[in-house]
Amino acid sequence: MNRSFLGSLDWVLIAPVFVLITLSLATIFSIDFALFKSQLLFLGLSVFVFLFFTQVDYRVIKHYSLPIYILSILLLLLVLFFGFESRGAVRWFDIFGFRVQFSELIKPFLAIAVASFLTKKNNFSLKLSFLTICLTLPIAMLIFFQPDLGNALIYIIVIILTLIFFGFPLRLFFVSIVVFIASTPFVWGFLHQYQKQRILTFLHPSDPLGTSYNAIQSSIAIGAGMLAGRGFGQGTQSGLKFLPERHTDFIFATLAEELGFIGAIVVLLCFAFVLFRIFLIFSKSEDSFCKLFCSVAFFLILSQFFINIAMNAAFLPIVGISLPFVSYGGSSLLSNFILLGLVSSISRSVVSRKVLEIR
């Protein structure tokens, strides 16, 4: 790997992610060494894929947006009919002994499809906004029926935020919210019992040993860390297994207990740096596809980060959203590194253009 290649990487974007990955590996190591080894393997693959996508010309990828979108639909259908069932959900597909979660993997590819679709149109219009939502709905619905309410919501939220950012009328947005609230009884009928229970638990947390258990234990873990934390492997909530899913959905609570308020702030600052860097790349880019892709990437990371942290702190219902770059899971890690690689590729093209202009 030569110096020119290393020099072309966006180290300002990579550095905070490296800190998040380091904290993630240390926390997973303190939970279970077997999980640590698996995550290390996933990380190696993810870094390789990241380096590949940093060198891919985004102008080539956007021409394949339609096949990418169709492939995403087919993969989700494949999971729905032939996927691996675990805990009543069919979200994974077994490939040579590895469980792949396509609802995670296709996130960067939906970003490509949406950015390319919006770029092909000359003017941003209300009709175009609705067409974009219609483009996203099949994917969101297929994920919802796995069932995976959390990721289905992420797709819808990200697209709506992107459209609002690019001019979707706020008045119509609020009208849509009213319509959604009015249709809640209809949507409620399609929710699984455990999903209904999570929402009811959030509204009325009255069963500390039952449905409220996860949220309460997570809050206890965050508070128990205090300023400097109990130390790696010393957390009672995670170490004594009071905290469920401590390596995935609730890894932030585990990290906060072991590293305290200081560790939690480091995580928050790292995400702030990543998001700010993506915003800078967005603002410096003159290509409409790049701007749209960066905005979708920004909202993808922001929405997952916000919902996961709020879920850990019991500010939102538990919907099973992973924390990007931190939660255990190969599919999530690979998806986020593909997204990061494409953003880095756009950053490299922006820098190259600036150099040419100076010359």
What single DSSP character describes residue 57? -
Query: Is 221 within 8 Å of 238 (Cβ atoms)?
Result: yes
Alpha-carbon distances of 142 from 32, 52, 151, rounded to whole Å: 33, 29, 11
Specify which residues 157 forms β-bridges with.
Answer: none
**Residue that is written with structure tokens 């992107």 in the block:** 162
Query: Is 218 within 8 Å of 314 (Cβ atoms)?
Result: yes
> Which spans in 55-169 are helix H?
58-61, 65-82, 102-105, 107-120, 126-144, 149-165
Specify which residues 86 forms β-bridges with.
Answer: 89
**Residue that is written with structure tokens 């939502």 in the block:** 133
Q: Is the peptide bond before 147 cis (omega within 30 degrees of 0)?
A: yes
Alpha-carbon distances of 181 from 184, 205, 298, rounded to whole Å: 5, 22, 27
Tell me the residue type at 104.
E
**Residue that is written with structure tokens 């040419």 in the block:** 356
CA angle 248, 311, 213 (to 5 degrees): 80
Q: What tens-digit pLDDT sequence spans the chain (359 residues)? A: 566 667 678 899 999 999 999 999 999 998 889 999 999 999 999 999 999 999 888 888 888 889 999 999 999 999 888 877 776 667 778 777 778 888 999 999 999 999 988 887 656 667 777 888 888 999 999 998 888 888 999 999 999 888 888 877 677 767 767 776 776 666 666 666 666 666 666 666 655 555 567 777 888 888 888 888 888 777 766 665 667 778 888 899 999 999 999 999 999 999 999 999 999 999 998 888 999 999 999 999 999 999 999 999 888 888 888 999 999 999 999 999 999 999 999 998 776 555 444 44
CA angle 132, 278, 297 (to 5 degrees): 30
Specify which residues 99 forms β-bridges with.
Answer: 94
Specify which residues 256 forms β-bridges with.
Answer: none
Take residue 155 and report the two structure tokens written for it: 């797709």
Tell me the residue type at 71.
L
CA angle 238, 241, 242 (to 5 degrees): 90
Rounded to 5 degrees, what are φ and ψ at 89? -120, 145
Total-model pTM: 0.88
